[in-house]
Amino acid sequence: MANTALDPHAAITTTASGVATQPLTTADGKPLVRALARSQSRARRKAFLLVLPLLAFIVITFVVPIGQMLQRSFHNDGFSANMPNISAWFAQTERGTQPDDAAWQALAADLQASAEARNIGVVGTRVNYDMPGTRSLFTSTGRKVRKGIEPPYRETLLEIDEEWADPQLWATMREVSTPYTANFYLASVDRTRDADGNIQQVDENQRVYLMLFWRTFWLSGLITALTFVLGFPIAHLLATLPMRKSNLLMILVLLPFWTSLLVRTTSWMVLLQQQGVINDILVWLGVIGGGQRLQMIYNQAGTIIAMTHILLPFMILPLYSVMRTINPSYVRAARSLGATSWTAFRRIYFPQTLPGLGAGAMLVFILAVGYYITPALVGGSSGQLISNMIAQHMTSTLNWSMAAALAALLLGAVLVLYWLYDRLVGVDNLKLG
């Protein structure tokens, strides 16, 4: 029996064969491809003009500042620009060379010149980044040599401060004498260079960044998982309830967006602190004794609770928008085919929610990785994330290069995760709304 005769749609599957090999032309003989490109280019130009303002806005307010910021992470000319002579000496000599007379002379001249130009603070700050506690050496020496400095330079400088002879100081100055450096990145992963320029771990009591990165990613993952566990049933409810009820529920979901951060923080304090509502209830119920009140704020628990709450809508909304499009007849079909409700959920419903889940998880995770305010307010010291460190470098230590390096690493890690996600799931599977 001929299948094609029975199936009127079978014709679709036969491919067109014997297509002419020479290029197609328009009626007046021009190549079709060119004619098409010409006819579309006007429309394309118009479309480009329409998006031009947005493009300019993004370039000016986003791309340029971010680029400048990132540049700081590997480029800092605070030393090399203000100390040209000694920088030249470093460039000419090998690593580990003992400073000779020329070196001392160059150093003295540079110190005097930059003190006179009132740039000595910048120089000190730059060296201080790599070797803490040296800024004052530069500023105090600068004050004394501003009016002029007499040879013999080595002795004069040593007289001002013994520390000028420190080989570690000279090694550090050599490091910072070029404007381009990887040291901020090394510092971001708790590495430093010893006097010979070898990379090594910093002292155990100074290792913070790796631990903070690890904590940031681990907590973000945990928060993503929590928002999924809490958000999935709500999203499902939202998608299946009748319109009126689901609208009410939606308002509750969106409530965190509408309350001010301070109000929210205050209410968390009321709820979570050791003398707070939750502890009171637990004690009253006899779940815990009066002496064992739980610490749920100003530590990691506080960060987790508060961030889960804030980020929950970012999980719920994409899930909801995907679930709403899943026809209930799929689950019914599965049930009629013999699947228990659990199997129908696991094999039929859940896989169809994956695009929403992927989008939600991605949003929550990326937002969590960069979150700053909430951990700062309720995280105590054990709940601080890498962003808090970045903020600290931006605002209090004013080591912008370090902040930029940390931010760049964070960005890189997120991009790697995004790439992994694309490889494993496929970004075109995302559904944001």
Partner 1 sequence: MLDDRHGEAFVAFEHVQKSYDGQTLVVKDLNLSIGKGEFVTMLGPSGSGKTTCLMMLAGFETATHGEIRLDGKPINQVPPHKRGIGMVFQNYALFPHMTVGENLSFPLEVRGMPRDERETRVKRALDMVQMGKFINRRPAQLSGGQQQRIALARALVFDPQLVLMDEPLGALDKQLREHMQFEIKHLHEQLGITVVYVTHDQGEALTMSDRVAVFNDGRIQQLAPPAELYERPQNSFVAGFIGENNALAGTIEQLDGEKALVRLDDGGLIDATAVNIREKGQRTTVSIRPERVEFKPEMMPHGAHTIEAQVIEVIYMGDILRARLRVAGSENFVMKMRNTIGQTHLHAGQSVRIGWHPEDARALDPV
Minimum CB distance to partner 1, residue 329 (Å): 4
Q: Which is nearer to partner 1, 270 or 337 (CB)?
A: 337
Minimum CB distance to partner 1, residue 330 (Å): 5
- What torsion do the CA atoms of 240, 241, 246, 250 make, to the nearest 10 degrees? -40
Minimum CB distance to partner 1, residue 327 (Å): 6
Footprint on this chain of partner 1 (rule: CB under 8 A): 3, 6-9, 12-13, 327, 329-330, 332-341, 343-344, 347-348, 351-352
User: For residues 81 and 125, what is the distance between their CA atoms, to the nearest angstrom?
Assistant: 13
Minimum CB distance to partner 1, residue 350 (Å): 10
Please report how the helices 277-285 and 261-272 are oriented relative to each other, as an axis angle in degrees rounded to 10: 20
User: For residues 346 and 191, what is the distance between their CA atoms, to the nearest angstrom?
Assistant: 46
For the chain, how many residues are written?
Answer: 433
Please report how the helices 400-424 and 386-395 are oriented relative to each other, as an axis angle in degrees rounded to 10: 150
E-strand stretches of 300-411: none
Q: Which is nearer to partner 1, 296 or 357 (CB)?
A: 357
Give the C-alpha distances (Å, rounded to integers) separating 160 from 74, 141, 427. 33, 7, 63
Q: Which is nearer to partner 1, 351 or 412 (CB)?
A: 351
User: For residues 368 and 414, what is the distance between their CA atoms, to the nearest angstrom?
Assistant: 11
Minimum CB distance to partner 1, residue 256 (Å): 32
Minimum CB distance to partner 1, residue 238 (Å): 21
Residue 78 DSSP symbol? T
Q: Which is nearer to partner 1, 64 or 427 (CB)?
A: 427
Minimum CB distance to partner 1, residue 334 (Å): 7
Q: Which is nearer to partner 1, 7 or 101 (CB)?
A: 7
Task: Provide CB contacts within 8 A for 221, sequence distance 6+.
Answer: 365
User: For residues 202 and 332, what is the distance between their CA atoms, to the nearest angstrom?
Assistant: 61
Q: Which is nearer to partner 1, 208 or 427 (CB)?
A: 427
Q: Which is nearer to partner 1, 74 or 349 (CB)?
A: 349
Of all helices (H) and strands (E), which one includes residue 316? helix 300-324
Residues forming a β-bridge with 193: 199
Residue 72 and residue 404 in contact, taking contact as beta carbons nearer than 8 Å: yes
